[in-house]
Amino acid sequence: MSDSPNTPDAPAEAAQRIRAKGEPRFPDGPKPDPAGSHFERRIRSFQPRRSRVTAGQADALTRLWPKWGLDIDGQRIVDFGELFGNDNPVVLEIGFGMGEATAQMAAADPATNILAVDVHTPGQGNLLGLADHHGLANIRVANGDAIILLREMLAPDSLDGLRVYFPDPWPKKRHHKRRLIQEEFLTLAATRLKPGATLHCATDWEPYAEQMLEVLGAHPDFENSQPDGDFAPRPDFRPLTRFEGQGLDKGHVVNDLLFRRVPHDDQR
Ligand SMILES: C[S@@+](CC[C@H](N)C(=O)[O-])C[C@H]1O[C@@H](n2cnc3c(N)ncnc32)[C@H](O)[C@@H]1O
């Protein structure tokens, strides 16, 4: 490894050396917990984890965050026209993991913008790298808690769709309160979705799938796209995700749910 700070290895070195307190992990990259969510006493749907960032991911974070990254600081309403540089429809994906499926969906539908949010730094670097490598101009990557993004930074009726693929299943009963798909979350998400926008969830954890179907089926702001009120056939446009593959290897059954945001009361 070279000791010059200008070599391709430099970001990896920067990622691994011990940083001074408060020093950002990547120059111009995502800021740690920018919304200061530690100050908010709320049950979270994710477990903070310290994962290794590869040299390639660190390089992508350093180079591309200023162009395609969004820190969830809870301080302003995001202007999608400004963020994406066009007025195309915007779909929010919560919890993209390593982002392979996100990149595939962005490539398959370049006229749809994808705002992809996760707290997982290696995944953010991975997705930025994939977007760069494949020339995907319709992806933006947000760092932080999707709840704060939805609540503080997205305008009402601004989203054309919401995707939640293989959210953490939190299988233990005492952790069920951490599951993302709950009534309170759906009520918040509904306010940010345009009438008619699609909420697409998928999970390989059957008890969670049943919970999703129940809570979505009972929610007044959503209606099932399936006339029989059941799970949806897997749509062709959803690629196999990394967590889905792991679930299938374990023999899990995958369920998709496709719901629509119902029109507002005054539009019915
Ligand atoms: C089980 S993984 C699934 C990843 C990917 N969708 C897949 O199928 O491979 C769930 C992801 O959701 C993220 N996540 C959970 N709660 C979140 C939240 N409130 N805001 C942002 N990301 C969240 C986690 O960090 C994790 O990367």
Residue 4 has what pLDDT? 36
Cβ of 46 closer than 6 Å to ligand 1, yes or no, is: yes
Q: Kindly report the number of other CB atoms within 10 A of residue 27's CB atom.
A: 14
Q: Kindly report the number of other CB atoms within 10 A of residue 187's CB atom.
A: 13
Model confidence pLDDT, tens digit, residues 75-90: 899 999 999 999 999 9
- Amino acid residing at 234: R
Residue 224 and residue 185 in contact, taking contact as beta carbons nearer than 8 Å: no
Residue 42 has what pLDDT? 80
Residue 26 and residue 58 in contact, taking contact as beta carbons nearer than 8 Å: yes
Give the residue, by CA position, lying nearest to ligand 1 atom 13. 95
Residue 267 has what pLDDT? 66
Cβ of 95 closer than 6 Å to ligand 1, yes or no, is: yes
Q: Which atom of ligand 1 is found nearest the CA of 145?
A: 20
- 92 forms beta bridges with 115, 162
What's phi and psi for 2, nearest 5 deg?
-75, 155
Domain 56-267 bears CATH identifier 3.40.50.150: yes
Residue 51 has what pLDDT? 80
What whole-number distance in Å separates Cα of residue 32 and Cα of residue 12? 18
What whole-number distance in Å separates Cα of residue 155 and Cα of residue 7? 42
More confident: 38 or 129:
129
What whole-number distance in Å separates Cα of residue 239 and Cα of residue 249? 16
The ranges assigned to domains in the chain are 56-267
Residue 1 has what pLDDT? 34
Name residue, tokens 């929010």.
92
Name residue, tokens 């001074």.
20
Active-site amino acid positions = 168
- 15 forms beta bridges with none
Structure tokens at 110: 């370049």
Cβ of 121 closer than 6 Å to ligand 1, yes or no, is: no
Model confidence pLDDT, tens digit, residues 207-265: 999 999 999 999 999 999 999 999 999 999 999 999 999 999 999 999 999 999 998 77
Model confidence pLDDT, tens digit, residues 101-128: 999 999 999 999 999 999 999 999 999 9
User: Binding site residues for S-adenosyl-L-methionine, as ranges?
Assistant: 93, 118, 145, 168
- Amino acid residing at 83: L
Collapsed DSSP state (helix, strand, coil) of residue 60: helix
Model confidence pLDDT, tens digit, residues 161-206: 999 999 999 999 999 999 999 999 999 999 999 999 999 999 999 9
DSSP code at position 178: G
pTM over 0.85: yes
What whole-number distance in Å separates Cα of residue 179 and Cα of residue 223? 21
Give the residue, by CA position, lying nearest to ligand 1 atom 15. 46
What whole-number distance in Å separates Cα of residue 238 and Cα of residue 225? 16
Collapsed DSSP state (helix, strand, coil) of residue 7: coil
Distance 6 CA to ligand 1 centre (A): 33
User: Binding site residues, as ranges?
Assistant: 93, 118, 145, 168, 172, 204, 241-244
